[in-house]
Structure 1
Amino acid sequence: MIKILIVDDEPFIRQGLKILINWEQYGYKIVAEAANGIEAIKEIEKKEIDLIIVDIKMPEMNGIELIEYVRANIPKRLKFIVLSGYYEFEYAKKAIKYNVTDYILKPIQKDELVKVLNSFREEYLKQENSETIQRIKDKVVYDTYLNEIIYGKCNKVNLQYVNNCQSFSGELRYIIIEIRYYDDNCSNISEDEKIEGKQRIYEKIIGWLGENYYNVIIDGSKCADCYEIGFIYDKRLSKEQGIDEKRYIEKLKMVMKRNEKYDIYMYIGQKVSSIKELSVSCKTATVAKLFSNYSNENNVAYYDEIIGEKGFNYNVEKQYMDKLIHEIEEDNEEEIIKCVDKIYNSFKEQNIDLEIIKLNINYLLFNIINIAKELESEVNHEEVMQYFSSISFEQMISRGSIDHFKRFSLEFAEYLKHLRQNSAKGILNKIDREIAEHYKEKLSLKYLSEKYYINSAYLGQIFKKHYKVSFNEYLNAYRIEKAAQLLKRGDDKIYKIAEKVGFNNTDYFINKFVKLKEKTPLQYRKQFFKCDKSV
């Protein structure tokens, strides 16, 4: 609704205007009235007003003087429609130089008023839309620069741009606001619904902040499967509302949570004294998120309260990481979950900072990458590295809680299992080709395992699991089939055929042939040739 202030010294004119039309039907709402310019200024200063309908001639401060004052002293974007009698038209023309939107002659006619209001509303909405688009563009640029600062890339350019847009006090905290979509009851939510939910909460915060909306940003970490919003708490914000920091944060949480069915968590970084130190607060907010399971106070976790007053101890027990690597390789779900709990407890108990946690996680990534590579010498390494680039430290652990870490570990165990299966299929395809091309030659499992850099016992296991017979049984059967084709198509002697398909011992060949075909090679041939051929 467009908000209107009516200013006229005659009460019956003001009352008549109010009942002349259904204002809300045309998109307007009368929010105040005044008898002269001085009263009007008081209303302007305390209320949100878009349009002032003002009479020209009034005592104490007339309409022209009011317009002059507003244009010189009040920065609000206010529009004026002037009311004038026929003989006051010269006054009305004078008002034009003050960018008056329109004027209406007294006595006011309903049709003329509606026409002026419709014209104003069309221009107002057009300008409002244009300004909204520009504000969005400006906010996107601002968020880009601010995210650079938050993630540790502070320079003169982005710092100056951010400071030009928003004035910050000397007491700031970075807050990660997370919408929890990864609980069991959220499994059926589509990606679009998750993004819409995040945007809806972002817009709630924007509306609540009013002119301070630059304090909220869409998180710039580009973390897959993270639905987070960044918020810069400024002491000035709570001071303006006359409340302390914790009460302000609780009110913010209530605004976000209203009519939302999903849990919202807030992770609050340590206090810093300037915008260029915001990356420090962001890192500590991330630590608060890492240990959020240890802070159950209303889904709000303060870094200060989690870490406490104790100093840092960097002696992380490497055995926990080694144990986790082993269990991931073994695809042991129960043990993986236990290991992650132990690792987080270790981090928690020893108050380890973000950089040390990063070293440990990178150790984990390095080792499981090597496991993936070792599964198959010709595995697509680019694919493996691409997989890991999408779950870098910031995305997989610094932007996630213990639940994210557990899920990553379980998913990678599954990934290794599939890689192992695909690796087995790949090596079996190579063995098939070897048999098809070289069945006449001396082939053995030992030779093939050495050629393809794979353990012979493991190769024997996967071969038998796939074909249900041993390698030697499969090779003999393949050679017998080739021999059967030669027996049907030619008249070579039996010992010659045995040699051609890879058997050095004719008796052994005949024995295997009888076992598979239930006939001797000679009997088999007689089915196709009437003439009898000797061995």
Structure 2
Amino acid sequence: MYKVLIVDDEPLIREGLRTIVEWEENGFAVVGVAADGRDALAKAADLEPDLMVVDIRMPGMSGLDLMGAIREKFASAPRFLVLSGHADFEYARQAMAMQADGYILKPVEEDELISALVRIKRTLDEQRAGDVRPPVHDWGRERTAISLLTGEGDRPPKEAMEAFRFGEPPYEAVLIRLQSRGEIDSATYTLIRNRLSDSFEASDKGIVFSLDPYVGLVLAGGDAGLEAAYREIRRACAEAEVDFAAVAGGAVARPEELNRSFRSARDAMKNRFLMDGDRLYRASEAEALAPGAGQAAAPSSDDAASGEKLLLALDIGSGEAAAAWVRETGEAMRASGRSEQEIKAGFARSFTQALAKLEQSRPDVRERSRAFAAEVPKLYEEYRFSGLLSRLTQLAGEMADAFRSYDGDKQVRKMIELIRRNYAENLKLESLAELFGYNSSYLGKLFKNTTGEPFNTYLDKVRIERAKELLEQGMKVYQVAERVGYSNVDYFHVKFRKYVGDSPSSYRKK
């Protein structure tokens, strides 16, 4: 695997670049991110990346300045892939003059990034092919293990294979991916690797290897070896105060077949977002976590209706309804086969849209809406599905508490306020009854007894009054119908004539 350092001053861009493609499938591993040029310059010395993906415009030190500094400081400079949000020929010219391997405009398209990675990997492979074959005495057990696991590079010589063999078959590869909401430094990787080496290599029970972004084990002895591995992985990660995802790739009879076990574990690791914590998965278990895995899931037509439920739950201050929406929506997206990035983006979009609508309809909560909107991007820090739902459930509850604006008055009063703020949404008595925790029949009677009108009649009148205002401003009839909540313009005509006694077109001409 070739090591990649991502450099961008925008947190969302950095996280998006991490997840937009399967780096490992393309021969790369993201070993770190940097928030600006100076941060990248410092990290490059420790991480020694083969490729740096660099934003061209950053505060302090630009991407071009960073490229120049890297080339001056290091004898063997990495390859560079330059990103920019500005379609500026001069930037592209300067980047290419500094021998950048590509120039991609933001927002980055997955296919374009993959094409660039394929091209850059070919260049790196050609560079590596020029290396001198290491002598036999350089073939330690870890180098031999990596060669057998990946199937890449030179084949281990006979002497190295003889020194590699240990224990009794079957053999199995276990991949460990360290996880945290923040960055994991190299010292943490070293600590965990050393603890595993003390447990396995000293007693000849296994071989520890590093293959970015993984720490891994080659084990012998079947299930008993896996049970011991889990205990040691758990203990080492607890000592380092970091979480982990671990997958065993399946047993093989001979060390020469370890590539099959490694590939199986690596493929299953793609589902790590859906894995529960504190356990070691078999590859078959991990692969079964994602229904429809490998099939891109398009946004559902129900997404808009789902977002309306969140808006209404927050607007009435119902923490229970908002939490239920988070759980139901999360499970629906998972069951549809959506990727980690698609799930996070779906939640971010729903919360952002709900907060924007609340800010428009309720000036009294504007500051709180904006404060909560600043919290939404933090959901991208979650590396596990269960952790994401837990964080969003808590956030939704805090929002509902902050937006609750009643002092014990009747539920009908809250319904009236809700209608007047959200008349353009798809409001239904049954949905509101569920949010308020009432039987819909009872809530309908309560509403009519208080207002003197059925729920639907009251909603229609609010919409028609707003429609009259918009028509008086000269807006076209079909635009008004859509603006006040009628998707069918003919139905709007019927309702308008019923309550006004005239057609919308005639009223507009008056």
TM-score (norm 2): 0.34
TM-score (norm 1): 0.33
Structure number with greater Rg is 1
